[in-house]
């Protein structure tokens, strides 16, 4: 992702990022899409950005389009990403950015944690979602919030008659493995979570969040998790 961001920032030429998974056919992300404007963002992202308050941390910021919009609105926003090239780009457009892993953050407090484009997927598996939300909670001021979106991808397992072609009780169906390829670059295979709303609700409430569903459309949803 970082190399794709660096290339598009330099050349303006749109190129494909190939996303492979262990459960479905390859998908394609346009590098130009990583630089979309607010007007070109889906409703989920627009609603989330308009709910950001106080001191904001954009986690896995990529090209920084969300942080850039928030900064233009006069918001106090900073970014972290594990990609040096992504951080190099966001720093170059005058956004406060650090190369940092979310799980390594400590002794910091925010009013809003932003995890868009299924950023909550960093949990990797449903069994690790509680740990991820507890980590997020530790970084929030009282009354602070997490804004994150995800998808219920159960439909991927349905056959033509509406039945399920896997046993959903054996392993959680939203536990994915992905690999990303761009030009001559490719990542190792990594775990990435898509979590249905009911599982999100149950886990978030268990660790002490109030849960507000803000958007629900086409198997995707946006939630606001408020620290009690």
pLDDT (tens digit per residue) in 78-136: 999 999 999 999 999 999 999 999 999 999 999 999 999 999 999 999 999 999 999 99
- Give the pLDDT confidence score for residue 2 in this predicted structure: 97
Q: If phi over 0 gives left and psi between -120 and 50 gives alpha, with beta otherwise, what is residue 219?
A: left
Does pTM top 0.85 for this prediction? yes
List the alpha helices (DSSP H) in 64-175: 65-72, 84-92, 129-138
Q: Which of 128, 153, 131, 159 is nearest to 21 (CA)?
A: 153
Which CATH number characterizes residue 30's domain? 3.40.50.150
pLDDT (tens digit per residue) in 139-178: 999 999 999 999 999 887 776 666 665 665 668 999 999 9
Full residue range of the structural domain in which residue 130 is found: 2-227
pLDDT above 80 for 61 = yes
Q: Which of 50, 169, 35 is nearest to 89 (CA)?
A: 35
Kindly state the average pLDDT of the residues 70-77: 98
- Cα–Cα distance, 121 to 128 (Å, whole number): 10
Q: How many domains are contained in the chain?
A: 1
Please tell me which residue, 51 or 23, carries the higher pLDDT value.
51
pLDDT more than 90, % of the chain? 89
Q: What is the dihedral of CA 227, 98, 121, 141, to 10 degrees?
A: 0
pLDDT (tens digit per residue) in 7-32: 999 999 999 999 999 878 899 999 99
Indicate the average pLDDT of the chain: 95
- Give the pLDDT confidence score for residue 154 in this predicted structure: 86
- Give the pLDDT confidence score for residue 156 in this predicted structure: 79
Looking only at the bridges linking them, the beta strands covering 97-99 and 190-193 are unpaired
């Amino acid at each position: 992702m970082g190399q794709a961001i660096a290339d598009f920032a330099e050349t303006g030429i749109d190129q494909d990022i190939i996303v492979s998974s262990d459960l479905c056919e390859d998908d394609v992300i346009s590098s130009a899409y990583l630089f979309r404007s607010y007007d070109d963002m889906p409703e989920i992202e627009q609603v989330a950005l308009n709910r950001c308050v106080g001191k904001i941390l954009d986690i896995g910021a990529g090209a920084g389009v969300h942080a850039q919009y928030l900064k233009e609105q006069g918001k106090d926003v900073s970014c972290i990403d594990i990609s040096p090239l992504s951080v190099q780009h966001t720093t170059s457009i005058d956004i406060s950015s650090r190369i940092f892993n979310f799980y390594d953050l400590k002794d910091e407090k925010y009013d809003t944690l932003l995890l868009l484009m299924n950023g909550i997927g960093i949990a990797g598996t449903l069994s690790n979602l509680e740990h991820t939300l507890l980590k997020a909670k530790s970084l929030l001021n009282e009354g602070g919030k997490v804004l994150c979106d995800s998808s219920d991808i159960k439909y991927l397992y349905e056959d033509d008659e509406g039945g399920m072609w896997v046993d959903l009780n054996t392993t959680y169906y939203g536990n994915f493995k992905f690999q990303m390829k761009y030009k001559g670059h490719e990542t190792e295979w990594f775990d990435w979570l898509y979590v249905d709303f009911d599982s999100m609700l149950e886990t978030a409430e268990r660790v002490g969040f109030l849960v507000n569903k803000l958007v629900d459309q086409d198997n995707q949803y946006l939630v606001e998790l408020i620290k009690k």
